[in-house]
Amino acid sequence: MTEIFSNPHARPEAAQPQAPEQAPPTAGPTTGPLTREELQLSARNHSMPLEALRRDITPPGLHYVLTHFDIPDIEVSSWHLRINGAVERALELSMAALRRDPAITVPVTLECAGNGRSLLSPRPMSQPWVQEGVGTAHWTGVPLAYLLGKAGVLQNAVEVVFTGADAGVQGGVPHRYARSLPIREALRADVVLAYKMDGTELPPQHGYPLRLVVPGWYGMASVKWLESIEVVTAPFAGYQQKVAYRYQESADDAGTPVSRIRVRSLMVPPGVPDFFTRRRILNPGPVLLQGRAWSGKGAVTGVEVGIDDTWVPAQLEKPAGGFAWRKWTLPWIAEPGEHVLSCRATDATGATQPLEQNWNYQGMGNNMVQRINVTVEGTGA
């Protein structure tokens, strides 16, 4: 007590004992300045620099990272994957055993469901992504359906629950990171238990030694540091399923679950950046605008590029896979002056990116069009 009051920086209320349940679960949306907590999260969880959109596959160090708690340090020789619950035979598999099973490699664009969150107003307080919480990798491993087939899923199964080795407290609730998938999604041929990213061992931050990858779903479904797979006969109600990752109007709206990735496109910012503002500076003349577009709901069918609000259709290239992004290009003759460039994709369901923000309480699935301010003058690259 004495010590607290003798500290000139301590506020008197710091002396009052705080019951753990009095701590706010998560701070609500704000219009205030960025907080230290958001800065801490954004320094841990980096996004993909937009210039990496030039590549079909994002090098592992440039792929975005999102980790809720701490990155576990797993000793693979004592690690096992457990498969149990509503199955005929429970399995316990070592990494050596998994590597003997048939393997597939799938190119997948992963995007964090909170991507775009910091652009919302009011701003939901969490990892403050701008627009680059995305990346594409080749994931290699055992098809989940193969192992579920080996275990024998019982008739009354409804979901499969995936639990990672990482634990922490979120919203006042201590838990291990866990998510479920409906049985029909879990049995898709392209859902993979990956032990390789781009042909090499998984990096620690991407889930070493084993992670789930669910093509087409926002990143939260792809559980890293996987330890257990449990087939269940009732819907899973864990924190990351029931409370987090929902489209909610307000704090007390039950909302609807976040699942597949909404259609989105991004552009490689042309020219060179101004260091601090990231405004682009470009020489006058011809330039090839380019970027990538993706959707977890259906193939990307078109991309339009907005040049000062005139929309022009871009040229599309073939995607590397069903749930990997698709390159687009558009030649542009840059005229001297100030310009705003944007891009807007449409997918096979007919969904198009909105021009205005898509607000919801947790800041999920914000796929509004990107806008890039460009100054065309003689000093660009």
Q: Contact positions toward ligand MTE, by CB under 6 A?
A: 63-68, 110, 112, 164, 166, 177, 206, 219-220, 222-225
d(CA 192, CA 131): 26
Phi, psi of 52 (to 5 degrees): -70, -10
What minimum distance in Å lies between the beta carbon of 277 and ligand MTE? 27
d(CA 69, CA 175): 10
Phi, psi of 246 (to 5 degrees): -130, 145
d(CA 162, CA 71): 17
Give the nearer residue to ligand MTE in terms of CB position, either 62 or 316. 62
Burial 204-232 (b: 16+ CB within 10 A, else e): ebbbbbbbbbbbbbbbbbbbbbbbbbbbb
Give the nearer residue to Mo ion in terms of CB position, either 177 or 195. 177
Q: Which stretch binds Mo ion (CB under 5 A): 44-52, 59-67, 342-350, 367-375?
A: 59-67
Binding site partner of 110, from Mo ion, ligand MTE, none, Cβ cut-off 5-8 A by kind: ligand MTE
3-state helix, strand, coil in the chain (%, to 5): 15, 35, 50
- Residue of 50, 52, 57, 66 interacting with Mo ion (CB under 5 A): 66
Q: Which stretch binds Mo ion (CB under 5 A): 156-164, 217-225, 245-253, 358-366?
A: 217-225
- Site map 73..112 versus Mo ion, x via CB under 5 A: ---------------------------------------x
What minimum distance in Å lies between the beta carbon of 135 and Mo ion? 12
Residue pair 75/82 in contact (Cβ under 8 Å)? The answer is no
Residue pair 281/289 in contact (Cβ under 8 Å)? The answer is no
DSSP labels, 91-105: EEE-HHHHHHS--EE
Size of the site for Mo ion (CB under 5 A): 4
* Cα Dmax for the chain: 70
Give the nearer residue to ligand MTE in terms of CB position, either 124 or 219. 219
What minimum distance in Å lies between the beta carbon of 298 and Mo ion? 21
What minimum distance in Å lies between the beta carbon of 298 and ligand MTE? 21
Give the nearer residue to ligand MTE in terms of CB position, either 164 or 291. 164
Write out the residues near Mo ion by the rule CB under 5 A: 66, 112, 219-220
